[in-house]
Amino acid sequence: MEKWDALVRSKSDAAVFSLSAYLDAVAENWCVYVDEKYTKGIAVPFTKRLGVKICYTPKFITYLEWFGTQKSDFSDVISYLKAYFSQGFFSILTAPDSNTSVPYVCQVIPMDSNVIYNSQANRMFSKFEKAHLKLEYLQEENTILEIIRQELPAKVASLDTKALDSLAVLLTALKKEGLLKTLAVTENGEVIGGLFLVDFNESVLYLKGAFTVESKKNGAMYGAMKFFIEATRSEQKTVDFGGSRVEGVKRFNTNLGGTDRIYSYFEWNRAPIWFNWLKNLKNLVKGRN
Summarize pLDDT for 152-170 with one digit per residue, the tens.
877 777 788 999 999 999 9
Confidence of residue 276 (pLDDT cuts 50, 70, 90): confident
pLDDT in tens, 185-208: 999 999 999 999 999 999 999 999
Encoded amino acid at 5, one letter: D
Count of domains forming the chain: 2
211 and 141 co-located in one domain: yes
234 and 122 co-located in one domain: yes
Of residues 253, 260, 236, the one with CA closest to residue 117: 253
254 and 118 co-located in one domain: yes
CATH for 68: 3.40.630
pTM for the model stands at 0.91
- Report the pLDDT averaged over residues 270-282: 79
Rg (CA), the chain: 20
Of residues 15, 14, 18, 12, the one with CA closest to residue 30: 18
119 and 172 co-located in one domain: yes
Per-residue CA distances from 147 to 132, 212, 244 (Å): 21, 7, 20
118 and 256 co-located in one domain: yes
- Percent of the chain scoring above 90 in pLDDT: 74
160 and 283 co-located in one domain: no
Of residues 177, 236, 240, 176, the one with CA closest to residue 208: 240
Supply the DSSP string of 101-134, one letter for each residue: EEEEEEEEE-TTS-----HHHHHHHHHHHHHT-E
What is d(CA 254, CA 241) in angstroms, rounded to the nearest whole number? 10
38 and 167 co-located in one domain: no
Range(s) of the domain holding residue 232: 109-260
Contacts of 167 (CB under 8 A, 6+ apart): 60, 145, 148, 208
Mean pLDDT of the chain: 90
